[in-house]
Amino acid sequence: MAQRRTTLERRSGSGQQGFTLLECLISMVVLTFGLVGLLGVVGVAMTATQTSQEDMIAKKLAQETVESIYTARDTANITWSQIQNVGGTGIFVTGFQPINQAGTDGIFGTADDSLAPAQTLTLPGPDGIYGTADDVIQPLTNFTRSIAIATVPNPATGQPYTNLSQLTVTIQYYTPQYRLPKQYVLTSFISQYR
């Protein structure tokens, strides 16, 4: 009877084994790869968070430029023939220019902007309230703007439309995380008609 009991104890005890050292090492390697991958994702998320303010500023600067041109057309501050790049009868400077306040004509991207001061962004100060004495004024010297105005060809005839132009505003800016400049491009169409 004693021998039988020992055999039963061995059988029931043989199913309760722990992890081997090899299994523990394999699980640690798999866990390490997972944590390293997660750390890489966190790094990418941190970079995106740090550049999101510059991305938003670039988007708003491009929208502001397009709206300035539409407003100048709608209020008849400029004629249709002036909504072109410099060279013919146009008033918009070609190439990347500093982001300055609008000059005396009130339109962004024209030659008189070079005499105006740089645009600034006012942020709430340490108290977190906008419009108080501790507000932080940040100049937008990190950004440049290019305005390209092109004719739009008629697909049927191949000739350009006389009352429609393509307006492309490109905002170029640098961020500490990237060596090359980033760009935000806004393309729109503008017609002669209000």
pLDDT tens per residue, range 63-100: 999 999 999 999 988 899 899 998 878 899 999 999 99
For residue range 9-68, what is the model confidence (pLDDT) as tens digits?
555 555 667 888 898 999 999 999 999 999 889 888 887 777 888 899 999 999 999 999
- By percentage, how much of the chain surpasses pLDDT 70? 92
Q: What are the residue ranges spanned by the domains of the chain?
A: 56-191
Question: Residue 187: which residues within 8 A CB-CB, separation 6 or more?
Answer: 166, 167, 168, 169
Local structure of 166: helix, strand or coil? strand
pLDDT at 95 (0 to 100)? 92
pLDDT at 149 over 70: yes
Report the Cα 79 to chain-centroid distance in Å. Answer: 32
Across the chain, what does the average pLDDT equal?
87
pTM attached to this predicted model: 0.74
Q: For the chain, what is the total number of helices (H) and then of strands (E)? A: 2, 6
From the number of C-beta atoms within 10 Å of its C-beta (0-12, 13-18, 19+), residue 94 rates as middle
Rounded to 5°, the CA angle 111-62-128 comes to: 110
Place of tokens 């009130």: 106
Whether the per-residue pLDDT at 181 is higher than 60: the answer is yes
Task: Note the pLDDT of residue 70.
Answer: 94
CB 83 within 8 A of CB 90: yes
- Of the candidates 100, 105, 98, 109, which has an alpha carbon nearest to the alpha carbon of residue 149? 109
Classify residue 116 by burial, with Cβ atoms within 10 Å: 0-12, 13-18, 19+: middle
